[in-house]
With several copies, the nearest count.
Chain A
Amino acid sequence: MSPLPKRILIANRGEIAVRIARTAREMGIDPVGVFASGDSGAFHRRAMSQSLDLGPGPAYLDSGRILEAARAAGADAIHPGYGFLSENAAFARAVTAAGLLWIGPSPDSIEKMGGKLAARARMREAGVPVVPGSDGSPGEADSGAELARRAAQMGFPVLVKASSGGGGKGMVRVDRIEDLAEALSETRRVAEAAFGGGRVYFEKLFERPRHVEVQVFGDSLGHIVHLFERDCSVQRRHQKVVEETPSPALDDRLREAMGRAAVEAARAVEYVGAGTVEFLLDERGSFHFLEMNTRLQVEHPITEETLGIELVRAQIEIAAGAALPRAWQDGSLSPRGHAIELRLYAEDPFEFLPRTGRILAWEEPSGPGIRVDAGVGTGSVVGVDYDPLLAKLVVSASSREAAIARARRAVSEWIVLGVETNGRLLAAVLDSAAFQSGKYATDLIASLDRPREGEPPDAAWIAAASALEAPEPASETGTGTSRGPEDPWQVRSGWRPGA
């Protein structure tokens, strides 16, 4: 094993940048941050020993400026977090070429899992079950009869997708064979506009699947293990909102089969580091490879909590050449209790539309079984340019029932004033019979009844009136509104809208 890095540049923002900085400090490694000029008030800067200005524009995606910052700060390693450049093979190569340690899988592994169609083909070869579908071969769309035959074989509905797509973009649901050809054309048009083209294919659409993923970890000595599953079925707009482990949908046999398949998937691309293999679990209990995320996952903390391990520490050690911890390899790890992650988004809780503004008060829940990974605090400005994830609440308890009750307590305890959040949605999910029974699928949020809410209690009206009739405190005036592009240093609030 090479020595550990001395100074890691964290090429990210928000909660994940803070979370990585914490582990770096615990390992005696200096965490260095970066920020876009328009994001100079960003909360993650507080977690760093120092941070560097990347300049204007979408700077977190600018690999050149990030490498320049790493050089300027004397960093010897880069952790990309998730999103931004984390699954960009060219960036990973540039980091290595610059003589820095890349804390992530090899660029080859990233590329092999980057294209959905290529990944599907590779998984089929490796014996991993994939979602039934077409293979997107170049002439496919022209061969109407062949397509129709395949679609009929698996049954409708199907989902048309772009191989290079993501985040639900360009996906079209098709219920009848007559509409298939047109949907393929439409997705091709969208893909050309949004991702510069690429192939288009279709998959069987499961109406009420669960989304269950398996954490995998490989080292440079060729060991690959799985670290159990996370159930990510609670979604809105194809994005995860609540995750839990263990999955209430798995029994030991299925858990073992999925773990084995995930390890096979990772082995097929010679995976080193932390990765996640996502599966759809259909209503009949069969699982199908969906994709592999070649990076740290947002919801990794629930795995850390139930297993009592530290994934970011392992990422850094393994990037430096260490072997997987012995306990991960000898089968002695097993989940204890239950963990749930709830994502607090800045958005309307039931319409899912983004919300912006200044956070006037921010008080996190705490106490037994509570972990909060936050990317904002009191005074933070939530703008339109970045992901709406404000913080993750991670709850652990000895049983699923106790974890749900604890999560519900923590959501009630969380004080976030000034920007609307999805807190009421989180409460509604936890209160729902579907979630409590454990028998739910990806349609849980869509099928939730909007909770009946009475009027605020008298105390809330009286508090509101009392606050509104008092003279406004000086410290609360004039902030939270957009400013011109003046120098954020030495002005009253450092924030300005993203450039």
Chain B
Amino acid sequence: MAARRVKIELEGGRGEQPVSQDGTAGRAVRDVRVGATDAVLDGRLVPARVLREEGAVTAVEIEGVSIPVRTARERNRVFVWCGGRTYEFHKAEAASSRAVRHSAHAGGLLSPMPGRVRKLLVAEGDAVVRGQILLVLEAMKMEHAIRSPRDGRVGSLPFQEGDLVEAGVPVAEILE
């Protein structure tokens, strides 16, 4: 039984203090090492054993008390049902790569949800004013307008009408 260290992060950050735009404040990250009879959480030793069935974790025994859980993993993300609630975790990126990911799209507007581009209301190079609707996303019968955060000029517009867009990807760039 290996006891490798994994650095994992709670998706969405601490409940009361969500992850900030720059990706620093509110992050809930822990260093966890799971051994055969104990686990180490951020340096704290916890007598713990893990029960696995069919590739999923179904119980965690801490100090002799077995608590039911249920995990499902998809690549570097893992979903955990525990105590009647569901959490999502992922392998934590190094702070530097996270900062890069955030800064890379500093001028870009990210899609707040997955969806289809229903309408493109501007073209690259157009002058826009703050609050102006740039494009409209639609998902599950709900429309969502993406507005310009400031006066400026439209830089790149990577999607066309009808395109499928994932959540959190840049959908428009506004240049100063």
Contact = CB atoms under 8 A, between A and B. Distances in A.
B75 interface: yes
Interface in A447-499: 451-470, 472-473, 475-477, 479-480, 482, 488-495, 497
Interface stretch (B83-91, B98-106, B123-131): B83-91
Interface of A is mostly: loop
B33 A45 contact: no
**Most chain B CB neighbours (cut-off 10 Å) among A411, A451, A458, A492:** A458
B145 interface: no
Contacts of B72: 360-361, 417-418, 467, 476
A237 B142 contact: yes
Given A452-B16, A456-B10, A490-B1, A495 B140 contact: no
A378 interface: yes
A476 B52 contact: no
A420 B53 CA distance: 21
A456 B50 contact: no
Given A46-B68, A466-B52, A476-B74, A356 B60 contact: no
Task: Give the bracket for the number of chain A residues in contact with chain B.
Answer: 35 or more
Mostly helix, strand, loop or mixed at chain B's interface?
Answer: strand
Contact of A463 (B41, B65, B82, B113): B82
B112 A353 contact: yes
A41 B33 contact: no
B68 A379 contact: no
A494 B139 contact: no
B141 A387 contact: yes
Interface of B: 1-2, 4, 6, 8, 10, 14-16, 28, 30, 32-34, 36, 39, 41, 46, 48-62, 64-76, 78-89, 91, 112-116, 138-142, 144, 164, 167
Interface of A: 40-41, 45-53, 72-73, 167, 237, 346-347, 351, 353-356, 358, 360-361, 363, 378-379, 384-388, 411-413, 415-418, 420-421, 423-424, 451-470, 472-473, 475-477, 479-480, 482, 488-495, 497
26 contacts: A40-B51, A46-B68, A51-B59, A51-B68, A73-B65, A346-B140, A353-B113, A354-B139, A378-B54, A384-B114, A416-B86, A417-B71, A418-B74, A421-B86, A459-B67, A459-B69, A462-B48, A463-B69, A465-B32, A466-B71, A469-B2, A482-B164, A489-B49, A490-B36, A493-B53, A494-B58
